[in-house]
Structure 1
Amino acid sequence: MACRKASEASFVLSDVRERMREKKNGVLRAAKLNASLASKIKTKIINNSSVIKVSLKHNNKALAMALNAEKANAQQLAKEKVILQMELEQCHFQNASLRNKLCFLNNVFKELENLVESVKMARLSEVPTSPLFPSDRQKNSMTEDSWADDIADDHLLSTAAMPLRVPISKPRNLRQQSGSSTAMQKSSLGLQTCAPDKPLETLSVSEDALPPQKWEEPA
């Protein structure tokens, strides 16, 4: 009986010892697994960070190159702007010079026109007036003379058209009657010669139409 108890006790102790060993081994295994997992995670993080760093480096390089290209473009645009400003100033200067030349040419043209007019006037004043080509003054005097002649002719025609009152007295004898008739004919002929263009109407005056006059006997 004692042997059995001793064997059972030893068996129990051995079981306990094994269990304790298993527990210790399980803890160690868990610690090892955790350490391996941590190391794996660290390596992954390091690898990932390295990849990120590499990518960041590439991005930074690309950005730096783009920035340099933009700076070069900005410098080129600034140079072109300066060149265009200089060309614009030159164009303004050329425009001002052309305006001055245009004003000068206009003044010269006006002076030439005035000179040509003065030369024409001088030539007209120097040319002698011939009888075949009368001057303006002679033309004006001729027109005034013709106008005066026309007025005189119209006045004569108006007086010729008016009836003339000729004082006629009974002649003492036939000689006085014949003399008065010849005087009336002469006056009518003279009026006809004054206006040959218009026919004159001759008035026949009879003795009965005349007012009666007193006879004066000779003393």
Structure 2
Amino acid sequence: MKGPRVLVVDDEPQIQRFLTVALTAAGYDVLTAETGAQALRLAATGAPDLIVLDLGLPDRDGKEVLSEIRKFSQTPVIILSARDREAEKIEALDRGANDYVEKPFGIGELTARLRAALRHAASEAQQPPRIEIEGVAMDLDKRLVTRDGLPVKLTPKEYDLLAVLFRNAGRVVTHRQILSAVWGPAHTEDTQYLRVFIGQLRAKIERDPTAPRIVTTEPGVGYRAAEA
């Protein structure tokens, strides 16, 4: 029985060969595409469970391909690219990427990101009413938060902020995505305001707020809750 199907979109033959061998050995069923046009066709017809997408494609920018994919599919997409500018990462994540891995990369890190993306997609489909990370549990039906079984008192905005992060556990959520979800589209530039609330939230849920493990910072991009 074959494992999850991965569509690898990259125009570098050596990267394609390496990923095909490595991911097949890890139990994945691998499809490959060299161009944006091929990627869109296979994303629509090949039924991939997740997509690894390079940004530097010969016929169009990978971010445009991502936007087109998001018009018809919510398949998890992990960006794999040599572009390391924060602006590139932020735009890709804002367009719907689930994660971002820079070249050069380790296959261990990439496969860990793939597993996390698959788990997140499965948990979204199941919509679990309770999420627990590092001893902090959220009951989404009852709007209750506990740490090691003891109640944690959060303000409504702190709760909404934690809910956005926990629902996306293991995934980077950009400043813009968080601010829009919690405070509305008019506040997407209020990153300093968000930092204050993150600090307040960490003070209540982290064992050591100076060395956070539950909600970590992705510098210049956003925040990531640890995997549930």
**TM-score normalised according to structure 1 size:** 0.16
Q: Which has the higher strand share?
A: 2
Q: Which has the higher helix share?
A: 1
**TM-score normalised according to structure 2 size:** 0.16
